[in-house]
Structure 1
Amino acid sequence: MWKEALVLCQLLTLGRPLWAQEDPATAAVTPQDCNLECVRQGGPGCEYCRITRADVEKTLGFRSIEAFGSCVPWPCFELLGEEDPEVCQHYVHAPNDVTVEVLHDQNPKSDTIVVSWKPSYYGIAFLRGFQVSLQALGGSYVACQLFLFHRNLSLPASHAERVYKSDPFPGLSLGSQYAVTVMALPVPEQWERFYHSKIFSTRSCAEKNGLEKCKKDWYPEHIELQQKGTDIIVTFNLAPPSLDIRGYFSLCYAKGMKKYMDIKPNPTKNKTHHSYQLHGLQEGTNYTCEIAADLVDAVRKKFSVRVIHLQQEAALPLTTRPSLALMIPLGLALVAMFVILLAVLTRRRPNLWMKKLEIKPDIIEQHQERSTQQEVMSLPSNRLTPPRLLICYCSRDGPAHVRAVMQLGAFLQQHMATQVCLDLWDSLSLAEEGTMGWHCRRIRESDFVLVICSRGLRSQPSHPDPEGDEEEADEELGWGSNTSSSAAAAAIPLIGEEVGRAKARGQDLSKYMAAVFEYSEETDIPAELGLVAHYTLTRDLPLLFSHLHGVALHRPGGYLKIEHISEEGFTKLPAGAALQWAICEAGMVLREKEHHSVEGGD
């Protein structure tokens, strides 16, 4: 008996080191407060350190861009490669299982997130740290954090199950999309698998604070309809007084007709509900109506309206109503007439069939055409990944034009099943590779290239001046002169060469497209792009969708209809309304500039 107990005790003693190794491997690793000098010397307590901007400035001797924090191009070579250059010359694969967690934030106008990931076991022995960058899709917000291991640390493959975390990223706008990129260090020059990107959305104001506390997300929840004659009385609940919403609007449409109405409730009469009348609606027609607060990009509440035909029969006086004695003979007479009519129709049945054969064929064809037009085509499902689209543009037309381009990219990414590549969303790679290098690689990797043509692109010199208008536009957007936000002029000769080469070889030219916004003209398209497809946005959004996904809008017996990219339907989406507003704003700015230039010339 004592021998079995001794063996069990020895097994438990030998098993303790194994248990001790499993616990730290599965626990999340958070950054430590340690300076860069400790990391470079390999001292104790510097296993996973956050590197501050002050440490980078002290070590390198220059100030980095405020938005990029402590992140610098090739941080391993710059910060750890002086003592031992071989430390930064190995391949390390991209991290896995990148997740975004929302933290508790008392600020009702923003969210705070923290990023976590697992390192790949490929090259984990040479892993020197991580770089985590965060970018806003459709905006200019950029933030970056740098984490390094000390130079003497070498992780085993078993530590690939460890979860590493970043520091919190605070102040993220609600209801916005962001792209987070986790990069493994070191980063060899010709290696494309050293980072992992993930797109996520922050919570909406309604999700975080409740609908009654969000002015932008509020919409009427309770709507009641009542018909009075041919008019419809609509009653809806008003916004809380704390939101300070004083005006509303209603929009009804059917069969190409639209009815718009401004609504100005009187808060002194009723603070909770308001009623208004819809006039001039056609009987028997189904209307789709929307009601929303009179705010930019407000959420709209939809409801259906149908005017029912009311048959008003005047009640006869009791003295004039027919008696039962008179109704019985009348009923018998009607039955006799029905029997006689049935006999006549039975005899004339062959003649009726002959007349049916005389129906004209064109009437049948028109009926068939009307019925087949209601068929709807389905999109092909054999594509595993969305098409990759590179958008090139020119910022010489000012920040309003750049905002329109960014809103277009956000709409294509969210609602047209397209993976959009835009230089403003990839500023870190742009700074590392350079403008021409970045665009050459993206043109080669993308399935399609869309050039947004404008007056500034047409008048762009062959060698843009880095100190000219582009820098001023970038500064207005908050980027500064170190980040290029426009390289369409530099990419035009490259695209022109590719188009000419493909045309000479008889190859397909569908990869390249040119487009103008509604405030630009066809003459703004350069001659190098004269052979490619041209689109006017937002009018040609369905054609652009057809081009990107290779589907036909019309075919014999059917047509393709997608509600949120139609000429009227895309504005119902928040991203579509933002795109329309950005294009209108850019057009107003352009017309104002033309007006001032004319006055200056006079």
Structure 2
Amino acid sequence: MALKIWMTAMIFCHVFASCHLDQFHDNLTTAITPQDCSLKCIRQGGTGCEYCRISNDDLNNALGLTSRNQLGSCVPWPCFTLLGEEDPGICQHYVDAPTDLHVDFLPDPDPDSDSIVVSWKPSQYGIAFLRGFQVTVQPLSGSSAGCQLFLFQRNLTLSASHSEMVYKSDPFPGLPLGSKYAITVMAVPVPERWERFYHSKIFSTRSCAEKNGFQQCKADWYPTNVEVEQKGSVITVTFNLAPPNLGITSYFSYCSANGKTTYIEIAPNYSRNRTHHSFALRDLKEGTNYTCEIAANEVDAMRKLFNFQVKPQEVGSTGPSWTLAIPVGFAGVAIFIIVWVVLTRMPCVQMKKIYIKPDELIKQQEEMKAQEEVMILPNNRRSPPRLLICYSSNDGPAHVNVVMKLGAFMQQHMATQVCLDLWDSLGIAEEGSMAWYCNRIQESDFVLVICSKGLCRKSGHLEHGLLDSEVMVSLIGAEVGRAKSDGRDLSKYMAAIFNYSEEADIPTELGLVSRYRLTTDLMLLFSQLHQVRLHTPGRYVKINNISEEDFIVSHAGQALQEAIRDSEKAMKEEKEI
């Protein structure tokens, strides 16, 4: 029962850990590594057992267990269990959580897994009563855990200067590539009614390409060298083939232009060339820009993007002979003279002059130039930007309906891949609301927070698996603060309000991010999502169904406007009550 309670407590700690992924630092050569020593040496305070690893055998002997502990060498409140028999007072002091938690990768011969080692520093607060550390590795998508316990010998007392010392764990081997884990380092002892005893972080193991190089990974490999050559009206594309050890035998490519896409399956003849292959693209339109992708014919294969323009064919011709050019030239001169004479001898009454004011002429020229210089946004982005929309359900179902209609409109008319918790109830059930938001924040290109009066209102509980809005604001505010302190671009994070909300509804945690009023600023929001300028000298971006004047033309825009009116009405009725 104690083990189950401890596992539940640790999972709770992991779920509410920070989502920030720190960069891994260099290996520390001066770090203190664990020693092999017995519990007897630790309890008696002998030499050679200053910082000791506790093995499963030691734990089983101390607790009288005969089976292997599910959590490895860790037990709930290990100080009371292992050190408190001789002196219960040794485990009743407060010790603050460790600091500077880092994860380093170790060499691992297995190409499908990673080995890591965790390092940290003890806090100077309560360090004189510190008895050891407990390190836990918990996968976010599973229930299994790896745990290591390290204890100091009984008579060892650390001073405040030891807070600059770095302590290391033993290696955690066999972690599958591309997996996310929660790392927790706990200071021992852990008295009751003490919350700041641990430090957690989320980290990811490396991908196959990061560890082994993408030439060794089927899912990460893609053609790196693509050459395009035009002969007549035919485009020949040459690309490098995958290494034989990956077992890739077929490829595909598709090209798009003017809303039309052409798909081609490619089966190279390895008896002719085992390193490169060429294929032809026919029936292409002259003067047209084509956007193409090529990839291995595998599930979720990485794709190589390339572009080309079909140049008009040059028609060969021989120049006219001088015997033909001279008569043609004389004829042209004669026609010019005749026309000039006729025009100069016409009656003056037939010559009508049109006077235009200079300012009107300039205005006409500017209007004509603006019309001619309209810039249509090119559709050559490899994939639409991924946008996570965060909001509060404390403002009632009408406000939630507005958020849903906004997500549908942006996905349909703003070339954006929208992520909304209401659309992924299965993912939230599998990962948990906090882990779901942590993962989506890291995966998304942009995060848009819809601000309203209920956003920072504490609900006290979770409804329908959704995250408490106050926790969500704190989480995103922490990410914004880290990005600012690290000197990173803050354009990933945005805040927005609808017409029935006010600027004061935007939390102070989001004071540094761009803010928009919807639906007035839909064009500005589109500009930030796609990193394009709306206006340049003589040019402007033209996007249908997004401007404030015509966004209601579409069905999605009408639905959004109707939802906004319903929410405004609900807000007014709530105020009157």
Q: TM-score range by the shorter chain?
A: 0.5 to 0.7
Q: Does the Cα contact within 8 Å between 1:67 and 1:144 map onto a contact in 2?
A: no
Q: Does the Cα contact within 8 Å between 2:228 and 2:235 map onto a contact in 1?
A: yes
Structure-2 separation of matches of 1:115 and 1:341? 97
Q: Select 1:412's aligned residue among 441, 463, 466.
A: 441
Which digits, 9 at most, give the CA deviation of each residue in 1:304-342, with x for residues without a partner? 1222232435x2587x77644235425645876998999
Q: Select 1:558's aligned residue among 521, 524, 529.
A: 524
Within-5 A mapping of 1:429-468: 443=468, 446-447=471-472
The residue number in structure 1 matching 2:294 is 291
Structure-2 separation of matches of 1:442 and 1:276? 52
Q: Does 1:350 align with 2:375?
A: no
Q: Does 1:237 align with 2:265?
A: no
Q: Which moved more, 1:156-165 or 1:410-419?
A: 410-419
Which digits, 9 at most, give the CA deviation of each residue in 1:495-528, with x for residues without a partner? xxxxxxxxxxx999x99xxxxxxxxxxxxxxxxx
Q: Does 1:134 align with 2:137?
A: yes
SS at match of 1:29: coil
Q: Does 1:329 align with 2:330?
A: yes
Which digits, 9 at most, give the CA deviation of each residue in 1:220-247, with x for residues without a partner? 1111112244443211011111111112
The residue number in structure 2 matching 1:110 is 113
Structure-1 separation of matches of 2:356 and 2:264? 57
Structure-2 separation of matches of 1:295 and 1:341? 76
Shift of 1:408: 7.9
- Where structure 1 has 5 or more consecutive residues not aligned to the other structure, the ranges are 1-25, 375-385, 420-435, 451-505, 512-547, 565-602
SS at match of 2:196: coil
Structure-1 separation of matches of 2:165 and 2:343? 89
Q: Does 1:303 align with 2:269?
A: no
Q: Residues 228, 38 of structure 1: CA spacing in aligned structure 2 closer, same or farther, 3 A cutoff?
A: same
The residue number in structure 1 matching 2:567 is none
The residue number in structure 2 matching 1:267 is 270
Seq. identity, %: 48
Q: Does the Cα contact within 8 Å between 1:253 and 1:289 map onto a contact in 2?
A: yes
Q: Does the Cα contact within 8 Å between 1:373 and 1:559 map onto a contact in 2?
A: no
Within-5 A mapping of 1:167-316: 167-254=170-257, 256-313=259-316, 315-316=317-318
Which digits, 9 at most, give the CA deviation of each residue in 1:53-91, with x for residues without a partner? 333333334589866322233322333333333222222
The residue number in structure 1 matching 2:52 is 49
Q: Select 1:402's aligned residue among 430, 453, 462.
A: 430
The Cα RMSD (Å) is 5.2
Q: Does the Cα contact within 8 Å between 2:238 and 2:276 map onto a contact in 1?
A: yes
Counterpart of 2:330, as a letter, is P
The residue number in structure 2 matching 1:524 is none
Q: Residues 102, 88 of structure 1: CA spacing in aligned structure 2 closer, same or farther, 3 A cutoff?
A: same
Counterpart of 1:76, as a letter, is C
Q: Residues 49, 404 of structure 1: CA spacing in aligned structure 2 closer, same or farther, 3 A cutoff?
A: closer
SS at match of 1:217: coil
Shift of 1:165: 0.8
SS at match of 1:309: coil
Q: Select 2:38's aligned residue among 35, 38, 47.
A: 35
Within-5 A mapping of 1:315-394: 315-316=317-318, 323-330=324-331, 332=333, 348-350=353-355
Structure-1 separation of matches of 2:441 and 2:285? 37
Q: Residues 260, 131 of structure 1: CA spacing in aligned structure 2 closer, same or farther, 3 A cutoff?
A: farther
Q: Residues 400, 137 of structure 1: CA spacing in aligned structure 2 closer, same or farther, 3 A cutoff?
A: closer
Shift of 1:116: 1.6
Counterpart of 2:442, as a letter, is Q
Q: Residues 389, 154 of structure 1: CA spacing in aligned structure 2 closer, same or farther, 3 A cutoff?
A: farther
Q: Does 1:71 align with 2:80?
A: no
Q: Does the Cα contact within 8 Å between 2:391 and 2:469 map onto a contact in 1?
A: no
Q: Does the Cα contact within 8 Å between 2:516 and 2:525 map onto a contact in 1?
A: no
Q: Does the Cα contact within 8 Å between 2:429 and 2:465 map onto a contact in 1?
A: no
Structure-1 separation of matches of 2:355 and 2:425? 80
What TM-score comes out, normalization by structure 2 length?
A: 0.58
The residue number in structure 2 matching 1:154 is 157
Which digits, 9 at most, give the CA deviation of each residue in 1:174-216, with x for residues without a partner? 3444442222222334444322234444444344433332222
Q: Does the Cα contact within 8 Å between 2:114 and 2:174 map onto a contact in 1?
A: yes
Counterpart of 2:471, as a letter, is S
Q: Residues 48, 256 of structure 1: CA spacing in aligned structure 2 closer, same or farther, 3 A cutoff?
A: farther
Structure-1 separation of matches of 2:340 and 2:120? 87
Q: Does the Cα contact within 8 Å between 1:389 and 1:448 map onto a contact in 2?
A: no
SS at match of 1:78: helix
Q: Residues 266, 371 of structure 1: CA spacing in aligned structure 2 closer, same or farther, 3 A cutoff?
A: closer
Structure-1 separation of matches of 2:120 and 2:82? 23
Counterpart of 1:447, as a letter, is M
Q: Residues 282, 176 of structure 1: CA spacing in aligned structure 2 closer, same or farther, 3 A cutoff?
A: farther
Structure-2 separation of matches of 1:334 and 1:352? 35
Q: Residues 358, 165 of structure 1: CA spacing in aligned structure 2 closer, same or farther, 3 A cutoff?
A: closer
Q: Residues 244, 551 of structure 1: CA spacing in aligned structure 2 closer, same or farther, 3 A cutoff?
A: farther
SS at match of 1:558: helix
Counterpart of 2:91, as a letter, is C
SS at match of 2:355: helix
The residue number in structure 2 matching 1:567 is none
Shift of 1:263: 2.0
Q: Residues 219, 192 of structure 1: CA spacing in aligned structure 2 closer, same or farther, 3 A cutoff?
A: same
Q: Does the Cα contact within 8 Å between 1:553 and 1:559 map onto a contact in 2?
A: no
The residue number in structure 2 matching 1:425 is none
Counterpart of 1:169, as a letter, is F
Shift of 1:125: 0.4
Shift of 1:418: 6.7
The residue number in structure 1 matching 2:104 is 101
The residue number in structure 1 matching 2:385 is none
What TM-score comes out, normalization by structure 1 length?
A: 0.56
Counterpart of 2:249, as a letter, is R
Shift of 1:159: 1.3
Structure-2 separation of matches of 1:141 and 1:103? 21
Q: Residues 559, 27 of structure 1: CA spacing in aligned structure 2 closer, same or farther, 3 A cutoff?
A: closer
Counterpart of 2:312, as a letter, is H
